[in-house]
Amino acid sequence: MTANRDSIVPHSQRPGISATAVEVRALLALAAPLTLTNLAQIAIMTTDVVMIGTLGPHALAASALGSALMFTLWMFGVGVVTAVAPFVAQARGRGRDIQGESRRTFQQGLWAATIVALPCVGLLMLAGPLLLAMGQEPTLVADTEIYLQSLMWCLPPSLWFITMRTFLSAIERTRPAVLVTIAAIFFNAFGNWVLIHGELGFPALGLLGAGLASTLACLFMAVALGVVFLVEPGLRRYRVWAGFGRRDWARLRDLLAVGVPIGAMMTLECALFSGATLAMGLIGAEAVAAHQIALQCASVTFMIPLGIGQAATVRVGVAAGRGDAGGVARAGWTALVLGAGIMATAALGFLLLAGPIIGLFLDSAQPDAAVTVAYAIGFLFFAAIFQLADGAQVIAAGALRGLKDTRVPMLIAGAGYWGVGGVLGLVLAFPLGWGGNGIWLGLTLGLAVVAILLVLRFAERTRRSRRLSGNDLAGLGAQPVVVEVP
C-alpha cells in the first residue's frame, strides 16, 4: 500500500496545489464511501419493511412499534461509540504510537458498545407493559413483543459493527465496511425469506423470524468485519485484538465522556421526529401518510450530509491532533460549504419534482388519495427548506466532534429541537390551526436554530484555536503521519 499523503501531510508542504483543493479531494474521498455505507444500512431496513409487509398490515404495524422503540435506543448507542472517531483521528494527527493508542481506543469502544447495549436489551424486555400503558391495542402489543424477542439481541453485534466501522473511517480505510454492509443486505433478505415464511425446510416463524434474521445479519456484519482486521495486511498492523481482555478504565471513561453527549443529541433528534409522527396522528391518517412520504425522502438525502459530517469529524480531528489550527478551520468550513451546495440541490429537486416524488409512494388516481397528496405537497415544500438546516447542523456537529466538543452541542440540540422545534410545532399545529404544515414549520425552525448555533460555535472554536496558537499553525513544525490509503 502507498501512503495517502493528501489526508495527513500539512498543506504547506505540498507545493503546486491549493490547500482548499486538497481538502475537498480528501473530504470527498472519505465522505463518499461513508455515505454509501449509510445508504446500504437504509436498504437493510427497507428490506425488512417490504418483507414483513407480506405478513399483512397488522404485522407491519407491530414491527413498526418495535422498530421505533429499538431504533431510539440504538441511536443512543451509535452516538456513544461515534466517540471512537475523534480519539483515533487526533492520535493520527499527533503521530505518536498510533497503533498502540488506536488499539486502546478500538478495544474500549467495543466495551463501551457492550456496556450501552445490554441495559438497552433489558429495557426492550419491558416494551409490552410500556406500550400497554401508552394505550396501544393489546393484540398489537402482543405481536410487538414477539418481534422484539429476537430483534432486541441485534443491539450488541450492531453496535460492535458500528464501533469497528467508526474506527475504519477514522483511519480512512472505509472500503471493508462498505463491502460488508452491502453483503449484509443480501444476507438479511435471504434470512427474512427463509425464516418469515418457512422456506428450505425451516419453520415459518413470522415476526419472530423477521427479528431473528435482522439479529443474524448484524452478527454477520460484526464477525465479518472483525475477521477483516485479522486478515487484511493494512489492518493487521494495528493488532486490535491483542490483549482485548484488559480494561483501560481511563480511556473508557474518556470515551463515555465524549460519546454520551453525542448519543443524547442523536436520541433527542430521533425522539423529535417520533413525536412529530405521533402529533400527525392527531390530525388524521392522511397527514401521517403524507408525513411519512416527506420524512422518508428527507431521510434518504440526509445520508449525504451525514457522511460529510462523519468525514469532517476525521478531517478536523487529524488537523487538531497535529496542532494545525488552519487545517481545523479549513476542514470544517470546506465540509459545511460542500454540504450546503449538495443540500441546496436536493431542496431544489423537492420543489421542482414534488409530484413525481409523491407518485413513487402513492397512486394519485385512487379516490381516497387526494387529501394525502395535498398534504404531501405542502410537507415537501417545508422539507426542501428543512434540507439546508438539517445538513448544516449535522455537518457542524461532526466538525465539533473532531475537537471532542460534544457537551455544549448536546445542550444546543436539546434547546433547539424541543424548546423551539417541538413546542413551536405543536403551537402552530393546534392552537393556531396550521395542522401538519405547522408541525413541519416547527421542525424546520428548530433545526435552523440548532444549525446556526452549531456553526457559530465552530467559528468561535476555530478563532480561539488561532488565538491560543498565536497564528495559523498549518505546516509549522507538524510532522507528516504515514497512513495506509483507503
- The rounded distance, in Å, linking the Cα atoms of 152 and 265 is 22
pLDDT tier for residue 115 given thresholds of 50, 70 and 90: very high
| pLDDT score at 367 | 59
Over residues 118-124, the mean pLDDT reads 93
User: Does the residue 38 lie in any domain?
Assistant: yes
Identify the DSSP state of 200. T
Q: Which residues of 404-423 are buried (b: 16+ CB within 10 A; e: fewer)?
A: bbbeebbebbbbbbbebbbe
Which residues have C-beta within 8 Å of that of residue 306, sequence separation ≥ 6?
34, 35, 38, 394
Last residue of a domain, one of 225, 247, 269: 247
The answer to whether residue 481 is domain-embedded is no
Best CA proximity match to 288, nearest among 274, 304, 268: 274
Q: Please state the φ and ψ torsions of residue 94, each to the nearest 5 degrees.
A: -70, -35
Strand partners, 3: 484
Q: Residue 95's pLDDT band (boundaries 50, 70, 90)? A: confident
In whole angstroms, how far apart are CA 362 and each of 275, 354, 357?
A: 24, 12, 9
Residues 234 and 265 both lie in one domain: no
Neighbours of 476 (CB within 10 A): 14
Do 168 and 146 fall within a single domain? yes
Q: What are phi and psi of 484, to 5 degrees?
A: -65, 150
Do the domain assignments include residue 4?
no
The H or E element spanning position 222 is helix 207-231
CA distance 133 to 337: 46
Cell triple for residue 421? 422545534
pLDDT at 479: 36
**Contact between residue 357 and residue 297 where contact means Cβ atoms under 8 Å apart:** yes
Q: What whole-number percentage of the chain has pLDDT above 70?
A: 90
270-297 pLDDT per residue, tens: 888 888 877 887 787 778 778 878 887 8
**pLDDT tens digits, 325-356:** 889 999 999 999 999 999 999 999 988 988 88
Q: Enter the pTM of the model.
A: 0.84
Domain termination residue (choose one: 224, 247, 270): 247
- The mean per-residue pLDDT over the stretch 96-117 comes to 85
pLDDT digits (tens, 9 = 90+) for 5-14: 445 545 444 5
C-beta separation of 476 from 419 below 8 A: no
Tally of CB atoms within 10 A around 133? 8
The predicted structure's pLDDT at residue 364: 63
Residues 313 and 401 sit within 8 Å (Cβ to Cβ): yes
366 vs 341: CA distance, rounded Å: 37
- Confidence band for 476, pLDDT divided at 50, 70 and 90: very low
Q: Which amino acid is at 465?
A: S
User: Does the residue 3 lie in any domain?
Assistant: no
Q: Is residue 357 part of a domain?
A: yes
Using the predicted structure, report yes or no on whether residue 135 has a pLDDT greater than 90.
Answer: no
Total of domains in the chain: 2
Q: How buried is 468 (Cβ within 10 angstroms: 0-12 exposed, 13-18 middle, 19+ buried)?
A: exposed
Q: Are residues 441 and 359 in the same domain?
A: yes
Note down the domain range covering 459: 261-475
The C-alpha cell of 41 is what?
444500512
Please report the pLDDT score of residue 55 as a whole number: 78
Does residue 1 belong to any structural domain of this protein? no
295: which 3 cell numbers? 420524512
Specify the pLDDT at position 247: 78
CB atoms within 10 A of CB 348: 12
Average pLDDT over residues 197-221: 91
- pLDDT-based confidence at 56, cuts 50/70/90? confident
Average pLDDT over residues 447-470: 85
Q: For residue 64, which of 143, 128, 162 has the smallest C-alpha distance?
A: 143
> Is residue 300 in some structural domain?
yes
Phi-psi region of 404 (alpha: psi -120 to 50; beta: other; left: phi over 0): left
Q: What mean pLDDT comes out for the span 105-126?
A: 93
Residue 374 lies in a domain: yes
With a cut of 90, say whether residue 485 has pLDDT above it: no
Query: How high is the pLDDT of residue 1?
Result: 36
Distance between CA atoms of 354 and 346, rounded to whole angstroms? Answer: 12
Tell whether 352 and 230 lie within a shared domain.
no
Q: Report the Cα–Cα distance between both ends of the chain, in Å, rounded.
A: 9
Q: Which of 247, 280, 304 is the last residue of a domain?
A: 247
Could you give the CA distance from residue 169 to residue 278 in angstroms, rounded to a whole number? 35
- Mark whether 107 and 211 lie in a shared domain: yes
Q: Is the pLDDT of residue 45 over 50?
A: yes
**One domain for residues 278 and 399:** yes
For residue 269, what is its C-alpha cell? Answer: 433528534
Same domain, 320 and 429: yes
Compute φ and ψ for 406, nearest 5 degrees: -130, -25
How many CB atoms are located within 10 Å of the residue 198 CB? Answer: 14
Same domain, 155 and 284: no
In this structure, of 21-30, 168-177, 243-252, the range with the lowest mean pLDDT score is 243-252
pLDDT at 99: 59
Question: Per-residue b/e over 425-447, b at no fewer than 16 CB within 10 Å?
Answer: bbebbeeeebbbbbbbbbbbbbb
Residue 120 has pLDDT above 60, yes or no: yes
Judged by average pLDDT, the poorest of 46-50, 249-253, 415-419 is 46-50
Shared domain check, 275 and 230: no
Q: Are residues 412 and 320 in the same domain?
A: yes
pLDDT in the model for residue 97: 54
Which DSSP state fits 415?
A: I
The predicted structure's pLDDT at residue 481: 33
Helix, strand, coil share (%) of the chain residues, nearest 5: 80, 0, 20
Are residues 339 and 217 part of one domain?
Answer: no
Q: Predicted confidence band at 400 (pLDDT cuts at 50, 70, 90)? A: very high
Determine the pLDDT at residue 468.
Answer: 59
Residue 280 sits in the same domain as residue 240: no
